[in-house]
Amino acid sequence: MVMAGELDALRKGAASKRKAEEEAGRNACMPVKKPRLGNVGTELKLMKERAEKKRQKDKTTDMEKERYAGARLELRDAVQVVDTLMRSATEAENQNATLETMLLKSEARHIKDTNDMFDEWLAYNQTKRMEVDRIHQDHAIETKSRDAKIEALKMKAKRFKGRFEKEKQKVRVRDERWAQEQDLTDRKIRELQDMAVDIDELPELNYDADESEEEEESESDCKVEPEKAEEEEEVKEVKRGKGGAKARASDARRAGE
């Protein structure tokens, strides 16, 4: 229940507020704001909203005047105070609603920004994952190519090794054959040298025979002449045989070398 002192205070406050509003209404000079060319639609929308609010306010003021017209002064001031309080509550509620709307918009914007950032992060991770997969694929292809080259080199090395073993076997067989031929040649050379030594000993024997024949010649001149001729022919044949043996031995040495 409102006390008398409080009612007087409310009356005085309402009267002073009404007087101030009337003074402000008489002395108000609203500047005309030129709309920017880039936001003509937005400016028109704001102007319509302001005009609608002013219309509602004027309508409310007219309704209050009608309510206050037939009432007494005390009741009119009390009703005006109540209307002022209700108007303040309505304005506070509207402000709260506006703030709540702004908060909701800010939260929605923040959520949208967060979602956009998360989408960008996912796209970035997807791009990096694709790059990593591509690097792994390139590495796998390079490794496979390198392994194939290594296998090819191994097969080539095996072929060269087999060819080398074959050539080595051929060289071994050829060396053995050459050693056998060398031994055979040396053996033939030794045989020819032995034959040459035997042939070299023949002139000494022939020389002893000649001396005995000369002694016999002194005894009988008749028998010496035919025997001497035969001996000379034999010596010539032996010398010819000795020269042929030496030639064959030299040929064998050249063949061995």
Give 3-33 pLDDT, tens digit per residue: 555 556 666 766 777 777 666 655 544 444 5
Taking all residues of the chain, what is their mean pLDDT, rounded to a whole number? Answer: 73
Contact 113, 46 (CB under 8 A): no
Q: What mean pLDDT is predicted for residues 192-219?
A: 60
The predicted model gives 83-104 an average pLDDT of 84
Count: domains in the chain:
2
Q: Of 34, 68, 96, which residue is a domain's last?
A: 96
Of residues 238 and 98, more confidence is placed in: 98
Q: Which of 39, 64, 96 is the last residue of a domain?
A: 96
- Identify whether 229 is part of a domain: yes
The confidence score (pLDDT) of residue 27 equals 52
Whether 119 is in a domain gets the answer no
Question: From CA 147, how far away is CA 157, in angstroms rounded?
Answer: 15
DSSP classification of residue 71? S
- What's the whole-number mean pLDDT along residues 84-111? 85
H/E stretch holding 91 reads: helix 73-219
Instruction: Name which residue leads in pLDDT, 130 or 228.
Output: 130
Average pLDDT, integer, range 141-166? 91
Place of tokens 């043996």: 245
Nearest to 245 by CA among 218, 237, 49: 237
User: Which amino acid type is present at position 107?
Assistant: E
Q: Determine the Cα angle at 34 with ends 30 and 37, to 5°.
A: 160
Is residue 142 domain-resident?
Answer: no
The verdict on residue 209 lying in a domain is yes
Q: Is the pLDDT of residue 53 over 70?
A: yes
Higher pLDDT, 160 or 226: 160
What is the model's pTM? 0.32
* pLDDT for residue 135: 92
Share of the chain above pLDDT 90, in %: 11
159 domain residue, yes or no: no
Q: What is the pLDDT of residues 59-82, one digit of tens each?
A: 777 676 666 555 555 666 676 677
Q: What is the mean pLDDT of residues 198-218?
A: 56
Residue 128 CB coordination number (10 Å): 10
Q: Which of 36, 65, 96 delimits the end of a domain? A: 96
Asked whether residue 45 carries a pLDDT value surpassing 60, the answer given is yes
pLDDT digits (tens, 9 = 90+) for 211-250: 555 555 555 555 545 555 666 666 566 555 545 555 555 5
Mean pLDDT (whole number) for 100-120: 88
pLDDT for the residue 29: 47
Tell me whether residue 73 is in a domain. Answer: yes
The verdict on residue 167 lying in a domain is no
8 A C-beta contact, residue 210 and residue 231? yes
Does 201 map to a domain?
yes
Q: Which domain holds residue 233?
A: 184-256
Task: Indicate if the pLDDT at residue 154 is higher than 60.
Answer: yes
In the chain the first and final C-alpha atoms are separated, in Å, by 152
Q: Which residue has the higher pLDDT, 74 or 108?
A: 108
